[in-house]
Amino acid sequence: MSEEAQLRLISSTVLVLGMRWTGETVAKQLSLAGVGKIILLDENPKLLSDASRAIAGSNWRNKDSEIVCRAWSFEAQRSEQMIADADVVVDCLDNWQQKLLASDVCMLLDKPLVHAGGSRFRFQTYMMVPGKSACLRCAFPQAGIDDVPLETADDAGLVAIMSMVAAIQAIDTIKVIARLGISQGNELHKFDFLSGEFESIRGLDPRRDCPDCGRANSPRI
Ligand SMILES: [Zn+2]
C-alpha cells in the first residue's frame, strides 16, 4: 500500500455499528490495517468491553489504532449524532430496522455505509456510497431481497461464515478509505455458502424518486 493510502487510513475514523455479529472481527481487521480511530457502538456494555479487550489483547492490535467504545442503542433520535464524526460506517447490526435507519442517516449525512446482512448460509454485502448507490430500501427489492426480517436474527450462522463476511466488510472499508481499486458503489454481492453460488447484482444506482438516495444524487444547495 502506498504511503498516501496508509496516511488516509491513519487519519480516518470508522464507526462499527453492532458487536453481536461481525463487528468485533471487522474492528480487529481495521485495527491491523492501520485505521486511526475505530468507534465500537452497541447498547450492551459487556459486548463492548469483551470486543475491546479482544482487540487490545490480540495479535491483531495495532498500537496506533485508537479504540473508542460507545454503549448506546442505535436509534433514530441520536443516530445523526452517532454517525456525524465517522468517515465510514460499517453495518454489523443484526436488526433490520436499525440497518434501514443506518442507510437513511448515512444517505442524509453523505457517509459511505458498508452493509452486510443475511442469516445461516446466505449473506449479502453492499458498499453504499451516497450519490453513486441506491439506498438499502431501494437496493433490496432490486436485488431480490424482499423478505426482510424485522426482528433480531436468532441464528447468526457459523463463525467461519461470519469471519468471511466480516473480512469482506473490512476489505470494502479499507478500499473506500484508502481509495484502492475501483468501487462502482452500485453492486450487491450475494453469497450462498451451502450451494456455493455467488451472485453479483449490478446497476443499483440511486433512484430519482427516492427521498433518500435520490436526494443524495441531486445537487446540494
Ligand atoms: Zn433509495
Say how many Å lie between the CA of residue 97 and the centre of ligand 1. Answer: 15
Q: Provide the grid cell at 90.
A: 460499517
Say how many Å lie between the CA of residue 121 and the centre of ligand 1. Answer: 27
Say how many Å lie between the CA of residue 151 and the centre of ligand 1. Answer: 22
Number of domains in the chain: 1
Give the integer Cα–Cα distance in Å for 71 and 46. 9
Say how many Å lie between the CA of residue 175 and the centre of ligand 1. Answer: 23
pLDDT digits (tens, 9 = 90+) for 195-209: 999 999 999 999 999
Say how many Å lie between the CA of residue 214 and the centre of ligand 1. Answer: 6
pTM for the model stands at 0.92
pLDDT digits (tens, 9 = 90+) for 112-158: 999 999 888 889 999 999 999 999 999 999 998 876 655 455 555 68
Q: Which residues pair with 123 in a beta bridge?
A: 118, 191
Say how many Å lie between the CA of residue 90 and the centre of ligand 1. Answer: 18
Q: For residue 38, give its domain range.
A: 3-217
Give the integer Cα–Cα distance in Å for 125 and 172. 9
Say how many Å lie between the CA of residue 103 and the centre of ligand 1. Answer: 9
Backbone angles phi, psi at 152, to 5 degrees: -60, 135
Long-range contacts of 63-66 (CB under 8 A, 24+ apart): 64/10, 64/34, 64/36, 65/30, 65/31, 65/34, 65/35, 65/36, 65/37, 65/38, 66/36, 66/37, 66/38
CATH classification of the domain holding 124: 3.40.50.720
Say how many Å lie between the CA of residue 6 and the centre of ligand 1. Answer: 33
